[in-house]
Structure formats: C-alpha cells, structure tokens
Amino acid sequence: MIRNRVLLVLAATAVAAALALPFLSFAPNRLLSGRGIALSAVLDLPWGVALLPGVVLLAAPFLRPSKTVLAATVTAAILFAAGLVGLAGQHAAQLAATAAPAARTSFGAGFWIMETAALLAALDGVRRLGLSPPLRIAVGAAALALVAVQVAAGHLDQLSILKEYANQRDVFVAAVVRHGVIVAASLVPTLLVGVPLGVLAQRSRAVGGIVFPVLNVVQTIPSIALFGLLLAPLSALAGALPQLGISGVGLAPAVIALTLYSLLPIVRNIAAGLDGVPDSVRQAARGMGMTPRQIFLRAEVPLALPVFLSGLRITLVQAVGLAAVAALIGAGGLGAIMFQGLFANALDLVLLGAVPVILFAVVVDAALKLLVALVARGAA
Amino acid sequence: MIAFERVTKRFGPWAAVDAVSFTVEEGELCALIGPSGSGKSTALKMINRLIVPDAGTIRVAGEDIARLRPEDLRRRMGYVIQSVGLFPHWTVERNIATVPDLLGWPQARVRDRVTELLELLKLDPRRFRGAFPHQLSGGQQQRVGVARALAAEPRILLMDEPFSALDPITREALQAELATIHRETRTTIVFVTHDMDEALKLANRIAVLDQGRLVQCAPPLEILTRPADDFVRDLVGREEWGLKVLAVETVGQRVRPDGEAAGVPLPSAMPLRRALSEMVARGTDRLPVVDDQGRPAGVLHLADLVRP
Amino acid sequence: MTGRVLDLLTDRLTLALLVLTALMFGMPALKPLFAVLYPSLERPLYEADSFLALTADHLALVGLSSLGAVLVGCTAGIVVTRPSGAEFRGLLEAVATMGQTFPPVAVLAVAVPAIGFGVEPALIALTLYALLPIVENTVAGLEGVPASVLETARGLGMRPVEILLRVELPLAAPVILAGIRTAVIINVGTAAIASTVGAKTLGLPIIIGLNGSNPAYVIQGAAVVAVLAVVLDFGFDRLTFLLSRWRV
C-alpha cells in the first residue's frame, strides 16, 4: 500500500530521468554541443556506491511514515544528492584523463531532474517531521556542506563549471565581493531614509497617502528601466559636478536604484509592524509614565521588530537579484559574469554567475528567517 | 417522517452517536438537545448525509437515505447553521434563490418566491433583495439564512443552533417567527439547541442526548414532569421549574368551562405563565377566558394553576 | 455627461494609457528632441523596430507566459486544496515560497544552458517564475473561503464541482488576481532583460543602448517599458476593484 504519494512521484520521476535523459554531457570544446552520457555509463566504483541511499528512497513510499522512516528518508536523500554530484565529478575526471584540455563535461538534464527530485524528497521529509526553522536550515546546510567538501577536495575540478571557475577565480572572488558591496551599500541609505519614513507614514495618514502610492509606482517600474532612466540625470550630474566622484554608470546608479526599490518593503513593513502594536500596550506604557521616546524604543520597537525583519529579508533578497541586473550598467558583481557568458555564448560562464546569485539569495533568505525566529523566540 | 434506527457514528474509538433510535412525525418540530459533545449536531448532519453513519439506518418518508444521491437528498431539505454561511459574493436574492436555481425553476417563479420569503421573514423586499450579506446585521443575515433554507419548499428543515449566536432580543424575535412559520407551513423541523428554554418554547417533541446516547424522547410537558433521570432533570434546571411547566401549558388546558369573571379576557392559547403574570399584575385570582373566535370559554382560577 | 468625461480623463488608468499610446506611436516625433539632448550621437532614435512592434512582442511574451502560468498554477492550486491532492500541498507551497527567493534574472539566465537562446528560454523561465505567486495565491485564496460557506453550500445540495465553480473560485478570485498581478509585473521586468538571451522585447533598445553607449536608446526603451508596467498595474488595480464589490 502506498503511504507517501509525494515521495513515490518524486522517486518515479528520478527513475524516469535516470533511464531516459542524459546524466552528463561531454563536448570536445566550448563551441560544439555535447553528446549525452547516461547514468548507467558512469556507475563505476567507488562513487557508484553513492547511489545506494537511492534504494531507501524507492522503498520509503511503501513504509509507514514514522519518525525513523522520515529521518532515514531525509538522510538518504541528502546523501543521494551529494552522491550524484560526486559521481559526476568522478566521471569527469576519468574523461579528462584522455581528452584535450578544451573538452567540457557538464551536468545533463537527467542530473538536474534527479538532483531536484532528491532535494525535494529531503524537503518533504523535513516538513513531515515538523522540524523547527533552525533545524531545517541545519539540514540545508548539511546538504550544502556535503557538496562543498567535495569542491574543496578538488574532486569536482574536471566539471566544466569548476574549470570555468578555475579560469576565472580572481574575477569570480572579486565579483562576489563586489556583489555584496552593492547590496550592503544600498542598505545604508535604505535604512536611513526608509525607517523614519516608515514611522512617519504609520503615524500620519497624509504622509502615508503620498508615500505609498509613489513607492508603489517605483516598485512597478522594471529594474532595467529604472537603471536606464537614472543614466541621464546621473551623467548630467557627474558632468556638472565631477568632484562628487560619481558617474552615470557603475556603482552610483546601482546603489540609488536599489535604494529606491528597497524603500517600499522597508517602509511598508515598518508601518505594518508599528500598526500591529496594540493600542493598549501604548496606553499602558503612557500610564506608567514613559516618555514618547521611551514608549517608542521600549514598547513599540520590540513588538514591531519581527515584521520589520521580515521586510528586511524581502528587501535583501530582492537586492541580490537587482544587483545582478545592475551589471548591465557596469556595476560589476556576479551579474557581470552571468551576462558576459550570455553575450559570449559561454554557457558555463552563465552558470558560474547565475548559480552563486541564486545561492546568495537563498542563504540571505535563510539567515534572516533564522534571525526572525530567534527574535520572536526571545520576545515570547 | 424521519426515523433513526440504531444509528451509530464513531470518530476513532469514541462513539459520537451511539445506537440512537427515535422518530420525528410529519409536521413536528423535534428539538435535539444536550451539552456539547452529546452528539446532537452529528445526529442532525446524518439526516442530510453530511456525515455518514457507521451503523444503523436513517429513513426519510420511509426511504433509506443511503440509497439516494446526497445532493438530491439535500436539495429536498432546508439547512440552517449557527454561522449562517451566506455566500458573500451574492446578493440576498441570489442567496435565497440557491436551491431553486439548482433545481432549475423558471426565473419568474424564483423572483416571486424570493419576495414571498423576504416578507415572511419580515425583511422589506425592496430594501433587501439587492443587498450584500456584509451590509446586514447578524439577525438579518440569519433571517436570510432561514429564507434560503425554505426557498425550495422543503418538507424537512434542519437547523443547527441557528439562533445561538444572536443577541437575546433578536433571538426571541426569530424564535417567535419560526414558531409562526412552523404553524403555517407544517414543515417537519429538526432543531439542535443547547438551550432547554428554547426547546421547551418551540418543540413538539424533545430528544435529550448525553454522550451519544438517547436518554429521553418525549413532549415538553413529559420532559418537565416525568424526566427519565437526573441528567434530564439537571438539564431542565431546578430553578423556576414551576414556571417552566406553566410556560408549556396553555390557559385552555386548565380553564373551568362555567362561571364568569370581570376583566379583559385571556385567549385560551395563551401560556399559563403569562396568565399568572396577568393575574399578579391585575391583582385578581380569576380571569375570564375566550377561545380563538373570541367567544366566552369560561374562567381561569389561580387555584387551578397550582393544583398538582 | 461632461462630468463622466472629465472623470474618465482624470482617471489615472486612462492617463497612463494615453501616455503609453503616445510613446508607442509617437516616438519618431521625439527624434529632434533626442538629437538636441545628445548632439554627439549619430543615431538619436532607435529605428530598427517600431516601438509599437516591440511593445506588442513584449506583451506577447508576458501574456503567453502568464496565461500558461495561470492554467497550470490555478489547476495545481485547485488540485492541492481538494482531499485527493492534499498530500502534495505542503511541498508545493514550500517550493513556491522558496522559488520566489530565486532572482528572476538568474532563473532566466539558467534557462539558456538548458534550452538555448531565443524566445524559448525566456518563455519557460517567465512561465516558471509566474507559477510561484499564482500557485501560492490560488491556495491561499481557496483556503480563505469560510468554512461556514462551504458547509452550507454542501448542505443545500451543491455538487463539489458546482461548489468549486460557483462559490470557491469567485470568492478566491481577488486573492488569485493579486497573485497574477504580482507575476505579471515581475514578468514585465524580466521580459525586458530577456533581450539578453535573444528574445525581442522592449529591453532590446535598452541593451543595445547600454552596449553601444547610446543613452538615447536606453531612455526610449526604458520610458516605454516603465509606462507599460504602470499601465498594467493600474489596470489590475481597476480589475480588482471591479471584482470586489461584494467585499467588506
């Protein structure tokens, strides 16, 4: 009898992908398209063993979902996911031993589907177990760590994405740093302007009536358009006042645009957070003789904090994505690598830029969710 | 009309309804009463098969309802719940027209029926037919809920604590209107409540449930004067028990056919409790009585109220 | 009569539409203006395609991907809120929430190694990305239907399909529409960036302008796509208002 239809669907999808789709793709050089390599062709030891956890995943849908079974499913899924990566790395190394240096071995469609199915199986198991947010993040970190260890050990070096990384290591590191700088730099003006604006907007309906519609319109404008529209005034400003050290392209328009986009979530969440403070709390604080400043700092801020942090989370995740687009106006960062790959038809370069951007966003999201959970628990 | 034959429903190991058997005659208003968890709502929902019994049979007009398609069964019955559940995106008119529309009534007939029902429930059709539920008060919403339940002229009306969420004044008004509607339409009504006074006021027959078992099923006077056990006695309440008995009987049941007395006469359908109140108010121990047509029917003596 | 015309004219949706129409058809008329602003530019006006055609292509990409996302996403949301599909709900919601942390531009870029260049990866990426808020909002909207309403609908004798079509979906519509709106607005922006993967949209003048240091092109493309996005947003706002007359 089927006990876990979700897992069954995922397992079936993975099996179908393993049989029907290429696991890896091997091309003699960057320009030619690769030929597919099936999973069955790469099952050599020692990494072939890594597929054994897959047996657990095939059996688990028919077992009663007790805590043990679920924990075993999650563990098996993570191991299987890491094992697939290791298998790919092993085979890439084997191929590289006899091929020209320009040859590329990259992940095929089959790999991506199996990997996604495994990670979703882990996610499903984590959900059914009802783990708390910190524990869920720990599981995610473990999954990531199993791959990171392989990267650090050099096992995956012959996969095209890492060969690309090896070629571009300095550029890559500089791009990551730059990407972080753009996001962090925009955070300062966002908070400086957004926090007071949010407080004002919540207290005065007139202010709110102007601020929210304007910010809503800004939010609607496509990011690349906003970057573009900032070019002209900023170039003019740079031309008129060269001592400011800004120009129409690069960091300045990026930071300004990111700030503008970040204002709405911050302002909206501060206003909502303050709105959510019950009036009775404010009245009690006044009754106890607190000054308005004390009421704000000791009563309102702590209660509004979780909602504000949620807004900060949305802002930061959004900013990571916007910073990638800002590469188009010369701001640098991981987006530069991504677009360089797109313009030059170098697909592994594209992945080298895009995958870290996604990881960056996911990590920021998880970190802030953890922070919100800790603050909420502390407040309770 | 409705017959429960050893009906049982279990949720896990615990029996919400335990081998319950009783009948509701056509045209009767039967109140299902008991504390929370007694199974009264569950029993009601088995009549329109929102819940399916694990054992036993329920017959409506002699037919085993398990044989019918649930939707067909439900379209023949009216259903009113405590939280009303009006469709917020439909006007009052369209809400009331729900079942007639499902049955495919012609538009003109539906419109007339809506007008008729709004008037029956004392809602001005011109004001209310185009209104949306959120524009109505709680009492008005429940009136629409009752109208909706009656729209397709069902022979059976199921009501699950319909007035419990309303304020006492609105509740009393709606109880009175339900009594009138019951008298005029002769619909069979099964009415769940936890309020014994409501049951005593409205019901022809009261079925008392305790933890899924039927403790007693009898007319109000019998529940009052011959309760099956302490549970029923406690449910009725010992305070002002005497007044509850008086509330259930009418003047006509204790009038002495001959004799005369002074004063504005009492209608013979008036509950004895009000008659007592009148006597106290007027400071007399006897009052004349008239029947439905206004003809003299005798005299009511205070002494007769007290006789065993 | 004049009152209603005046209302229409000062209505922000109408105004935005007028601006958009003016830009789409009248951009060539602004050529002298750009020539004056940027005298050093040889080509002050983007002329390779008409802005009308670019807008149409842009809308086609956004429209097609949104339609696909609505069909798949709403169906998934409905299935997952029925008893038979409830088992899949948790994972679907988790994926939809998590997926929305992925920056749209990165999802677009990743589609290229998988599918190639052109309008296809853009269409796939935009559809996938639009699925997330639509699924999330379809589930939330259907969940938000009060239990008492569902109970009476059943009790009155409506069949499950009738309940879904006549009660649940109309009541969930405003929330679902909000999800569609979010998806469309994000997709308008991502579709502009899709010019980098070979799709022809309003982003093309912007990208060409950025690559070739032609600020006039950039401004022209940016202005049209910005107004387009605003028009769509105002439009959804109006639609939501029209659908919600029964709400408190």
Model ipTM?
Answer: 0.86
State how far residue B222 is from chain C, nearest Cα, in angstroms.
Answer: 33
- The predicted pLDDT at position C189 comes to 93
Neighbours of A227 (CB within 10 A): 27
Q: How, if at all, do strands B77-81 and B29-33 pair?
A: unpaired
- The predicted pLDDT at position A380 comes to 55
- The predicted pLDDT at position A236 comes to 78
pLDDT tens, position by position, C52-109: 999 999 999 999 999 999 999 999 999 999 998 998 998 898 888 888 889 999 999 9
pLDDT bucket at A292, cuts 50 / 70 / 90: confident
pLDDT tens, position by position, A53-102: 988 889 989 988 888 999 999 999 999 999 999 988 888 888 888 888 88
| Average pLDDT of chain C, as a whole number | 90
Report the candidate in A348, A25, A379 with the shortest Cα–Cα distance to residue A167: A348
Neighbours of C83 (CB within 10 A): 7
Q: Which residues of B touch C149 (CB under 8 A)?
A: 85-88
pLDDT tens, position by position, A205-220: 898 889 998 999 999 9
In angstroms, the CA A363 to CA A366 distance is 5
Which whole number is the average pLDDT over B109-123?
94
Q: Is the pLDDT of residue A297 over 70?
A: yes
Which residue from C157, C167, C170 is facing B74, i.e. has the nearest CB?
Answer: C157
Q: Is the pLDDT of residue B80 over 70?
A: yes
Which whole number is the average pLDDT over C178-207?
92
pLDDT bucket at A230, cuts 50 / 70 / 90: confident
Q: How far from each other are the two terminal CA atoms of chain B, in whole angstroms? A: 35
Neighbours of A210 (CB within 10 A): 11
Pull the structure tokens for residue B303: 């002494």
Counting residues of chain C whose pLDDT is more than 90, the rounded percentage is: 59
The answer to whether A340 and A346 have CB atoms below 8 angstroms apart is yes
pLDDT bucket at C9, cuts 50 / 70 / 90: low
The answer to whether C49 and C204 have CB atoms below 8 angstroms apart is yes
Candidate from A149-153, B89-93, C219-223, C242-246 with smallest mean pLDDT: C242-246
Candidate from A236-240, B83-87, C57-61, C206-210 with smallest mean pLDDT: A236-240
pLDDT bucket at B199, cuts 50 / 70 / 90: very high
In angstroms, the CA C149 to CA B133 distance is 12
Higher pLDDT, A9 or A132: A9
Q: Does C148 touch chain B (CB under 8 A)?
A: yes
The answer to whether C202 and C225 have CB atoms below 8 angstroms apart is yes
Report the candidate in C161, C233, C214 with the shortest Cα–Cα distance to residue C12: C233
Looking at residue B123, the DSSP 8-state letter turns out to be: -
Q: Chain B residue closest to C159 (CA)?
A: B71
Pull the structure tokens for residue A92: 């890439």
Which whole number is the average pLDDT over B304-308?
79
Looking at residue A299, the DSSP 8-state letter turns out to be: I
- The predicted pLDDT at position A246 comes to 67
Pull the structure tokens for residue B26: 């056509």
In angstroms, the CA A376 to CA C201 distance is 45
The answer to whether B228 and B40 have CB atoms below 8 angstroms apart is no
Which whole number is the average pLDDT over B103-108?
94
Which residue from C152, C162, C170 is facing B89, i.e. has the nearest CB?
Answer: C170
In angstroms, the CA A349 to CA A352 distance is 5
Whether A342 and C203 lie within 8 Å, measured CB to CB: no
Counting residues of chain B whose pLDDT is more than 70, the rounded percentage is: 100
Which residues lie closer than 8 Å to A344 by C-beta, 6 or more apart?
Answer: none
Which whole number is the average pLDDT over B133-147?
94
A36 beta partners = A25
- Distance of alpha carbon A126 from its chain centroid, rounded? 19
- The predicted pLDDT at position A2 comes to 86
For chain B, which residues lie within 8 Å of any Cβ of chain C, measuring from their own Cβ?
Answer: 48, 50, 70-76, 79, 81, 83-90, 98-99, 102, 132, 134, 145, 148-149, 158
Q: Is the pLDDT of residue C10 over 80?
A: no
Q: Is the pLDDT of residue A336 over 60?
A: yes
- The predicted pLDDT at position A313 comes to 92
- The predicted pLDDT at position B71 comes to 92
Torsion angle, CA of A12/A13/A18/A19, rounded to 10 degrees? Answer: 70
Whether A225 and C98 lie within 8 Å, measured CB to CB: no
Q: Which three-class secondary structure state does DSSP give residue A105?
A: strand
Report the candidate in B240, B246, B220, B244 with the shortest Cα–Cα distance to residue B305: B246
- The predicted pLDDT at position A322 comes to 93
State how far residue C191 is from chain A, nearest Cα, in angstroms.
Answer: 9
Whether C246 and B134 lie within 8 Å, measured CB to CB: yes
Which whole number is the average pLDDT over A258-286?
89
The answer to whether B232 and B223 have CB atoms below 8 angstroms apart is yes
The answer to whether C46 and C220 have CB atoms below 8 angstroms apart is yes
Candidate from A305-319, B120-134, B250-264, C125-139 with smallest mean pLDDT: B250-264
pTM score, two decimals? 0.85
Q: Which three-class secondary structure state does DSSP give residue A8?
A: helix
Q: Where are the alpha helices (DSSP H) in chain C?
A: 2-10, 12-26, 31-37, 51-80, 89-99, 104-115, 119-143, 147-156, 160-162, 169-193, 203-211, 215-243
Q: Does A329 touch chain C (CB under 8 A)?
A: yes
Higher pLDDT, A31 or C99: C99
pLDDT bucket at A245, cuts 50 / 70 / 90: low
The answer to whether C62 and C187 have CB atoms below 8 angstroms apart is yes
- The predicted pLDDT at position B113 comes to 95
Q: How, if at all, do strands A104-107 and A24-27 pair?
A: antiparallel
Looking at residue C168, the DSSP 8-state letter turns out to be: I
Q: Which residues of B touch C171 (CB under 8 A)?
A: 87-89
- The predicted pLDDT at position A161 comes to 84
In angstroms, the CA A157 to CA A139 distance is 25
Q: Is the pLDDT of residue C111 over 70?
A: yes
DSSP string, A163-181: HHHHHTHHHHHHHHHHHHH
Q: Is the pLDDT of residue B5 over 80?
A: yes
Q: Does A226 touch chain C (CB under 8 A)?
A: yes
| Average pLDDT of chain B, as a whole number | 91
Report the candidate in B216, B201, B162, B189 with the shortest Cα–Cα distance to residue B24: B189
In angstroms, the CA A201 to CA A194 distance is 10
Q: Is the pLDDT of residue A285 over 60?
A: yes
Q: Which residues of A touch C112 (CB under 8 A)?
A: 342, 347, 350
Report the candidate in A305, B264, B276 with the shortest Cα–Cα distance to residue B290: B264
Which whole number is the average pLDDT over C178-186?
93
| Average pLDDT of chain A, as a whole number | 88
Pull the structure tokens for residue C46: 């983007």
Residues 63-92 of A with CB under 8 A from C: none
Neighbours of C119 (CB within 10 A): 18
